Amino acid sequence: MRTLTVVGASLAGLYAARALRHQGYDGRLVVVGEESHRPYDRPPLSKAFLAGRVEADALALEDVDDDLDAEWLLGSAATSLDTTAREVVLSDGARVRSDGVVIATGARARSMPAARSLAGVHVLRTLDDAHRLRTDLVPGCRIVVIGAGFIGAEVASTARALGLEVTVVEAMATPLAGPLGPEMGAVVSGLHEQHGVRLLCGTGVNRLVGRDRVTAVELTDGTVLPSDVVVVGIGAAPNVEWLTGSGIAIGSGVNCDNEGRTTIPGVVAVGDCASWHDPGLGRSHRVEHWTGALERPATAVSALLRGSADAPDLTRPTKAPYFWSDQYDVRIQFAGHAAQADSVTVEEGSVDSRSLLAVYRRGEAPVAVLAMNQPRLFGRWRRQLSSATVPA
């Protein structure tokens, strides 16, 4: 392989480029990025950066000793992948001939139709998004956060600490029931009301009110919430449309085996856009978390460099997904798959203390663990998890 192209210049893309060099690839390396920024860390965007405690330079992911010898093509998105000509086509008309491709185009924040026409309505996914939102977070303002997932919850926590009046609207009866299960989802989302944030569950948004700037949010039950700022946190969609016509199979993201190989030889996918097969679950799914973007590129790059002749080991267990979230004064950590469990028990601490460790089990086998301000215990339990031990 004389030229390898990494499409996506965020965490997963950077770590794929690093892995290529670390694993001995010494040919031409091209990194394509839709944003004009060099790779930066996204988790602080909803926390320290949004609160004004750090600036953009502190988010840089590249180390001073990085020696990638890469060509950076920033500010131009990939628009198609010509697998016959082996070319990545960019929005500025450039075409990059590539012997191998790493797809790391990530995901974009889902929005609402009125969000584009009304000032004061935000999503939060990129550094530019965070800049715009930060200027609107003025103490005393009223903010409505639509969606009580982790991004919405972190924005609510930050806004409350800055002195804003905060309301969180969640369509589900229990926030975070998907990733954490209903019982522990209720425990974690209880942090909102404990910190003076109004939480409205089981109702959706009918429309955003305002002429030029948002003034209120009207809910499906008829409630009208006056608001100066609205943040839409209703999930993310993988950036895979540019692959239409490439021959690469697309499902909930880019379909991959458990080493990141796509259906086209010489093309692998990593990060939020990639749907890897998980032998423990018996299906493919996307892992939209920082650690997945950090850890999986090395595996995918190894598969890319070895070539398609080396068949993947479909019985090899996949590392249990892990994520964390900082909300109010609590570090929340989770690993595993809550949906596999038939029971969950709090084994250390208590709900009232906001310091606990809960273990999810299927039968007697642990399949997931949740911690609130219990980092040491969590670390020990996380190391015990293995999807391969889950009973059928």
Residue 90 shares a structural domain with residue 39 = yes
Secondary structure (DSSP) of 263-317: SSTTEEE-GGGEEEEETTTTEEEE--SHHHHHHHHHHHHHHHHH-TTS---TTSP
Residue 120 shares a structural domain with residue 223 = yes
Label residues 12-28 b or e (16+ Cβ within 10 Å = b): bbbbbbbbbbeeebeeb
172 by DSSP, 3-state: which?
Answer: coil
DSSP element (H, E) containing 165: strand 165-170
Confidence check: pLDDT of 281 > 90: no
Residue 207 shares a structural domain with residue 283 = no
The larger pLDDT score, comparing residue 281 to residue 188, is at 188
CB 294 within 8 A of CB 11: yes
Cα dist. 156→224, 226, 292, 386 in Å?
19, 16, 25, 33
Confidence check: pLDDT of 387 > 60: no
Would you state the pLDDT for residue 279?
80
What are the tokens at 211?
């002429």
Output DSSP code: residue 144.
Answer: E
Average pLDDT along the chain: 93
Residue 127 shares a structural domain with residue 220 = yes
CB 45 within 8 A of CB 129: yes
Confidence check: pLDDT of 128 > 70: yes
Residue 118 shares a structural domain with residue 155 = yes
Task: Give domain status of residue 97, yes or no.
Answer: yes
Residue 271 shares a structural domain with residue 222 = no
364-382: average pLDDT = 94
The CATH number of residue 371's host domain is 3.30.390.30
Task: Give domain status of residue 177, yes or no.
Answer: yes
By mean pLDDT, which of 38-47, 236-245, 258-267, 377-386 is the weakest?
377-386
pLDDT band at 314 (very low <50, low <70, confident <90, very high): low
pLDDT band at 308 (very low <50, low <70, confident <90, very high): low
The CATH number of residue 142's host domain is 3.50.50.60
105-110: average pLDDT = 96
Would you state the pLDDT for residue 309?
57
Would you state the pLDDT for residue 64?
76
Q: What is the pLDDT of residues 8-34, one digit of tens each?
A: 999 999 999 999 999 999 999 999 999
Best CA proximity match to 268, nearest among 252, 277, 257, 279: 257
Confidence check: pLDDT of 388 > 70: no
Output DSSP code: residue 319.
Answer: P
Domain stop point among 179, 199, 234:
234
What are the tokens at 75?
């500010």
Q: What is the pLDDT of residues 175-188, one digit of tens each?
A: 999 999 999 999 99
Residue 144 shares a structural domain with residue 221 = yes
pLDDT band at 386 (very low <50, low <70, confident <90, very high): low
CB atoms within 10 A of CB 253: 25
Task: Give domain status of residue 64, yes or no.
Answer: yes
Domain stop point among 212, 234, 256:
234
Task: Give domain status of residue 102, yes or no.
Answer: yes
CB 357 within 8 A of CB 371: yes
**What's the farthest any 2 CA atoms get from each other in the chain?**
62
Would you state the pLDDT for residue 86?
93
* Separation CA 330–CA 97 (nearest Å): 48
Residue 200 shares a structural domain with residue 286 = no
| pLDDT cut 90: percent of the chain above it | 84
Question: How many domains does the structure of the chain reveal?
Answer: 3
Domain stop point among 219, 234, 249:
234
Q: What is the pLDDT of residues 56-98, one digit of tens each?
A: 999 999 987 788 999 999 999 999 999 999 999 999 999 999 9
* Separation CA 225–CA 304 (nearest Å): 51
Residue located via tokens 């790391």:
104
* Separation CA 209–CA 104 (nearest Å): 37
Residue 139 shares a structural domain with residue 229 = yes
Would you state the pLDDT for residue 311?
61
The counts of H helices and E strands in the chain are 7, 26
Residue-number span of the structural domain to which 95 is assigned: 3-108+237-306
Task: Give domain status of residue 314, yes or no.
Answer: no
Residue 8 shares a structural domain with residue 102 = yes
Would you state the pLDDT for residue 312?
61
Residue 127 shares a structural domain with residue 228 = yes
Task: Give domain status of residue 23, yes or no.
Answer: yes
DSSP element (H, E) containing 21: helix 11-22
Strand-pair category, 355-362 with 236-238 = unpaired
Task: Give domain status of residue 144, yes or no.
Answer: yes
Residue 207 shares a structural domain with residue 271 = no
Task: Give domain status of residue 315, yes or no.
Answer: no
